[in-house]
């Protein structure tokens, strides 16, 4: 099992390198619900979240589950100042828009003086109830 995880971690690094990620910061997120990221449906669980920048300057987020089952690379659509509540809390976050059946990753903030970034996500139904879910990102052990 450890060998499989090691191989998967190496594969994830290769995918990130192939995407041209120039820099990155890796954190951990406990996501208690299924969600959609970059068109992929992801299971609830613990994720390694790498915030990086493509060589052309485009911010990206790479997600990898601790079970090694799911990963997604999402390019941000827009950048803006983070909401005041995020800045006051002072912790990096993932932001999800949740409908009746599934949540979608719609934003990320890496903390500090960085801008927040938004992602394209599927539109909810016209009368579908919606709420936002904000998940704090934690430093990886040893960092």
One DSSP character per residue, 8-63 reads: HHHHHHHHHHHTTEEEEEEEEEEE-S-EEETTEEE-SEEEEEEEEEETTS-EEEEE
Residue 32 contacts by C-beta under 8 Å, 6 or more apart in sequence?
A: 44
Q: Which of 5-9, 68-72, 116-120 has the lowest mean pLDDT?
A: 5-9
Structural domain span for residue 99: 2-139
Encode pLDDT of 11-61 as tens digits: 454 444 444 444 568 999 999 999 999 888 999 999 999 988 888 888 889
Pair 119, 97: CB distance under 8 Å = no
Q: Which of 14-18, 75-79, 101-105 has the lowest mean pLDDT?
A: 14-18
User: Domain count of the chain?
Assistant: 1
Distance CA 64, CA 50 (A): 9
Q: Mean pLDDT across the chain, nearest whole number?
A: 82
- Tell me the longest C-alpha to C-alpha distance in the chain: 47
Question: How many CA atoms within 13 Å lie on the side-chain side of 56?
Answer: 5
What pLDDT is recorded for position 20? 45
Of 9 and 44, which is predicted with more confidence? Answer: 44
């Amino acid at each position: 099992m450890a060998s499989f995880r090691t191989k998967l971690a190496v594969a994830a690094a290769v995918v990130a390198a192939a995407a041209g990620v120039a820099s990155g910061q890796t954190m951990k997120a406990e996501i208690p619900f299924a969600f959609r990221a970059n068109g992929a449906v992801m299971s609830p669980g613990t994720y390694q979240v790498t915030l990086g920048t493509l060589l052309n300057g485009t911010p990206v987020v790479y997600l990898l589950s601790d079970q090694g089952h799911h990963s997604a690379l999402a390019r941000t659509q827009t950048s803006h100042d983070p909401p005041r509540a995020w800045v006051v809390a002072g912790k990096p976050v993932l932001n999800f828009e949740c409908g009746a059946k599934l949540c979608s990753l719609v934003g990320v903030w890496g903390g500090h003086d960085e801008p927040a970034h938004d992602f394209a996500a599927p539109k909810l139904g016209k009368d579908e109830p919606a709420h936002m879910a904000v998940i704090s990102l934690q430093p990886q052990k040893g960092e």
